[in-house]
A and B are shown apart, each in its own frame.
Chain A
């Protein structure tokens, strides 16, 4: 019992550190890649290739003045970034990073907790992020923040539907909710669900971009109309929390995509964790590529696209999949 507790605590610590470092370096990766996409160099002054840039940014954000608006609802205002950040972290609890390893005679699963309802858990916690946005928008005491918060939450809720439906197709084929089981079913390259469920993958990718409020669906940050949406009034470390939350969300979504569609940690020659990282990195790069290429959608276009294109497509996909695999 004690060993189990110690091992779990260790796993949680390692994962949290890895995720936070990953978030920091995701910002570096994004700036570097977007720079190159735009024919620039990107950060290169702090350390080799600008690799110390995230640390410099972190120090800067910590020492910036923390402003709380007079009209703000203090407690909610302070809670919102945390509510935004925690769900993003929680979803790592069920993502398997690799196979079993034997360490000091103990067999350790490379997953914090192998829930038999893993995907449901991920749905449940990722949808909690909306609360953070609404709380931030409402508690700031600014009309712009409120509008931005409502817009973002409406967007996230709209895309949540198609997001869920796109994974349901996979579940119909796999017949399990456990992520470990899902990965086990994708052992051979051609068994990857991206090949068995390509439409589902595309739908998932699009919805994931919208879920994490990224370009071209980053209406939360429509700076021309709303300054910065729900986090307009936030500064310093509170803003950094939103920022980290967004990137943690991105990595979480990429990890889930890797696990569900891209065969999880399976891959030849290299150790499982490396394969997992490579796939997540690839998905993140595609995210950034999208951002560098596509212009931002207008709000009505966004809603039309979500409800009139993605939702029917996802429904149709579920129907076809169910028909093919159940009869």
Chain B
């Protein structure tokens, strides 16, 4: 009997008050396709290839990213320009295999490959998930992210 009275006169009003309180709060919903939540600075999304200011590619096709990749998702084929500069003729990442660990980013000695903040890359056929060099170059975010600067600074120290 005491339990019943406790439930009806203490627990019930408490519960009803809780829901009523939420009625007057601002909803936390994010209107996703229209409004996007900024990702955390260290979020690892879709890859992109960095270039120098004059527009030439940073990647020299050394293969360290492919070697560091635990999922074996990176395939690259090198070639040489006339001044015996190496560049990646083919640079592909299989996004279905990629686990977005960021090891490629860490392994790269030229600071060429980075994982960006893009997370909308679902598709309906498997072939579209082979991510080519051209796509990675266009995907390049215009603004520099602070964590990249930190990485660069750390690299310079070592």
Contacts and interface: CB of A to CB of B under 8 A. Distances in A.
Nearest to A292: B19
A294 B15 contact: yes
Interface string A48-82: 00000000000000000000000000000000000
Interface string A216-232: 00000000000000000
Chain B contact-residue range equals: 10 to 19
Contacts of B18: 293
B11 to A, nearest CB: 11
Nearest to A35: B27
B16 A37 contact: no
A143 interface: no
A199 B29 CA distance: 40
B119 to A, nearest CB: 22
A97 to B, nearest CB: 28
23 contacts: A33-B23, A35-B27, A36-B22, A36-B23, A36-B27, A37-B19, A37-B22, A37-B23, A38-B22, A39-B25, A39-B27, A39-B28, A39-B29, A40-B28, A41-B27, A41-B31, A289-B16, A289-B19, A289-B20, A292-B19, A293-B15, A293-B16, A293-B19
Nearest to A38: B22
A33 B20 CA distance: 10
A217 to B, nearest CB: 16
Describe B's contact surface by its main secondary structure.
Answer: helix
Interface string B20-53: 1011010111010000000000000000000000
Given A39-B27, A289-B19, A292-B19, 7 more contacts: A36-B23, A39-B22, A39-B25, A40-B27, A40-B28, A289-B20, A293-B15
Nearest to B20: A289
Contacts of A35: 27
B134 to A, nearest CB: 36
A41 B34 CA distance: 15
A81 to B, nearest CB: 32
Contacts of A40: 27-29
A35 B25 CA distance: 11
A110 to B, nearest CB: 32
Pairs of residues from A and B, 6 with the lowest C-beta to C-beta distance, nearest first: A293-B19, A41-B29, A41-B27, A37-B19, A292-B19, A36-B23
Interface in A194-209: none
A33 B19 CA distance: 11
A31 to B, nearest CB: 13
A10 B18 CA distance: 45
Contacts of B27: 35-36, 39-41
Nearest to B34: A45
Nearest to B30: A41
Nearest to A294: B15
A33 B22 CA distance: 10
Contacts of B28: 39-40
A53 to B, nearest CB: 15
B95 to A, nearest CB: 30
Contacts of A289: 16, 19-20
Nearest to B15: A293
A58 to B, nearest CB: 24
A38 B27 CA distance: 8
Contacts of B31: 41
For B15, B23, B31, which residue has the most chain A Cβ atoms within 10 angstroms?
Answer: B23
A12 B29 CA distance: 42
A226 B27 CA distance: 32
Interface in A287-326: 289, 292-294
A39 B25 CA distance: 7
A37 B24 CA distance: 8
Nearest to B4: A309
A39 B27 CA distance: 5
